[in-house]
Structure 1
Amino acid sequence: MKLNRTRPFRLEKMYFDCIDEDGNCFILYWSVMEIRFLRFIYSGLLFSDSDNTIFEKFSFKKTPRPGATRFLTVENPLLNIKGEWWQTDNPIYCPLLNNLKNGDLNWNCHHPKAESWIEYNGKIYRGYGYAETLFLSIKPWNLPFEVIKWGHFMSEKSTIIWIQLNGEQHINNLWYNGKEYNDGMILEDRVIFNKGGFVLLFQNISTLREGEIIHILPKYHIIKALIKKSILNGNETKYKAESFFAIDGKTIDNGWSLYETVTWKK
């Protein structure tokens, strides 16, 4: 991948997860950020087992970019993990912000749902997986919103994905089995859409991570001097929850949801 010298900023962030029926959950990241002539690669792992014990590890050492084809493979010896995602649902591509003078924000959900396995610490976990890539050419502190609510629910029969961005601009997108809705209400313990007829209820909610974004960076990393404190001091909270999906008051499906809220002040 060549360094882009025509733009002052570019970020490509890949996200992968996998959760089995017992709630063993893996969240993986791979990203590359370019700020003028500097280039940083980041990879990270967050693991929450069925008892909600949390383990995190990250690295700024160079690792190869995972391929985002129908069949996706991740192998990261720095994190002692590898896995595969077989796409089962059609991909979703959404330009969240484009044609802005400061840059664009594009979201490619290439694996809305996948059959997945992960090998970690000598043990193999199998479950449903999800993978997406975010492309950002606008500096994060210039984004026209201050709150991000994002998440997804997966089961054998259902896939629900939501993105809600609030601030100077408002974006409210939700997809249920590939069909788009724009009336989602994202509450603490549920997601409501389709004029209130569809409800995704969260139970036994576990917090996977909570705190300022700056804490994922090494104490003296140069990147802290390049990104505005309004972003680094932003708060991120990630959740895992058993979930039940109801239509017109009747529960038709259950599975797991992974979701998050990110806030920052300009």
Structure 2
Amino acid sequence: MPKPNFYLDKWFLDFVSPEGEAMIFYAAKLTWRGLTVPYTSWLHYTPETGVRQKSRYRSIHMPEKQSSTISWQDAGFGVAGSWQGLADPITARLFESEEGYLDWHCLQPASEVRLQWNGRTMTGRGYAEQLIMTVPAWKIPMHELRWGRFGGESDQMVWIEIRETDKRQWLWLNGKRQDNCSITDDRIILPDRELTLKMDQQAVLNADKNIFTVVEKMLSFLPGFNKAMPLQFLMADNFKWLSHSQLLAGKDPIATGLTIHEFVNFNSR
């Protein structure tokens, strides 16, 4: 089989402590026109110090999956961790065309996480997913993208919504697919279940043109890569939050937890 012109293997792992400290890790390999570039980044947030971020394009270690455990380490960031799955994995094909597909593997909708960092042993909850793309993201019709994951003691929710003229959405509550949902930046409404997830957007983890920033740094490895994509895609605004959240049945809270969620606006310049 011929190799695809575009291939992206992208992992996302996160961690949240009971005190509200959070870490987000990306590890990815992008192949474009025969050239392969690895990439990794680390975001660290505490309520006291705010957000710190680091990224690198060399010496990348991809996560390893064995049974229900995912392990990942990065000597450059001084981080080593394990994610133990607490819920069954979810898989969905989000897009397919003659040029390729986008497969979303939510390997751990909820995880028990143990991290070693900076001489500390940290434990908390987390999440892990892997995206496999053989079609460039800018060829997927979308004006807006929303993604998020909520983790409570016994409840978890994961969602993706893509909007263009119409919207396509995928949402699972405790592993069961839910339809006819309303997804916005501060709440999720499940009318068929009479449930609402309210998110306070208290901590802003990111508010930037992330795609432009990453692509700009990749140009030394992939000359002309920026010219392959529309300006509207390149200059998209990305917002990511850590929210204290309540899951309500009617007006009654039935679960609380932390949510990491994001909104990408492809209509900005």
- After TM superposition, is the score higher than 0.5? yes
Correspondence for 1:164: 161
Query: Are the counterparts in 2 of residues 72 and 86 from structure 1 also a CA contact under 8 Å?
Result: yes
For 1:68 and 1:168, the matched residues in 2 are separated by 38
Asked whether the 8 Å contact 1:41–1:63 carries over to 2, the reply is: yes
8 Å contact kept, 2:185–2:263: no
Unmatched 5+ stretches in structure 1 = none
Q: Which residue of 2 is the match for residue 97 of structure 1?
A: 95
| Map of 2:84 onto structure 1 | 86
- Partner residue of 1:15? 12
Is the partner of 2:58 in helix, strand or coil?
A: coil
Q: Following superposition of structure 1 onto structure 2, how do residues 83-162 of structure 1 map, counting pairs within 5 Å?
A: 83-98=81-96, 100-162=97-159
How far apart are residue 131 of structure 1 and its match? 0.2
The one-letter amino acid of 1:183's match is N
The Cα offsets for residues 134-190 of structure 1, whole Å up to 9 and x where unpaired, read as 111111111111211000100111001111001155311111000111222122321
Q: CA deviation at 1:265?
A: 4.1
Moved more, 244-253 or 160-169: 160-169
**Equivalences for residues 1-266 of structure 1 within 5 A:** 6-51=3-48, 53-69=50-66, 70-98=68-96, 100-168=97-165, 170-195=167-192, 197-203=194-200, 205-213=202-210, 214-216=212-214, 217-218=216-217, 221-223=220-222, 225-227=224-226, 228=229, 229-265=231-267
Cα contact 2:86–2:112 (8 A) shared by 1 = yes
* Paired residues of 1:173 and 1:184 also in contact (CA < 8 A): no
- 1:47-88 per-residue CA deviation (whole Å, 9 max, x = no partner) reads 111336111001000323211331111110112211110011
1:58, 1:79 within 8 Å by CA — same for their partners in 2?
no
Aligned to 1:18, the other structure's residue is in SS state strand
Percent identity, please.
Answer: 22
Count the aligned residue pairs. Answer: 262
State the alpha-carbon separation in 2 of the partners of residues 199 and 51 from structure 1.
Answer: 30
What RMSD over aligned residues (CA atoms) do the two structures have, in Å? 1.9
Q: 1:45 to 1:36 in 2, by over 3 A?
A: same
* Residues 13 and 134 in structure 1, CA contact (< 8 A), matched pair in contact too: yes
Q: Which runs of 5+ in 2 are unaligned?
A: none
Output the TM-score relative to the length of structure 1.
0.92
8 Å contact from structure 1 (residues 161, 174) kept in 2: yes
Q: Provide closer, same or farther for how the CA distance between residues 52 and 208 of structure 1 changes in structure 2, counting only shifts above 3 A.
A: farther
Q: From the superposition, tell whether residues 122 and 224 of structure 1 become closer, same or farther in structure 2 (CA, over 3 Å).
A: farther
Moved over 4 A (4+): none
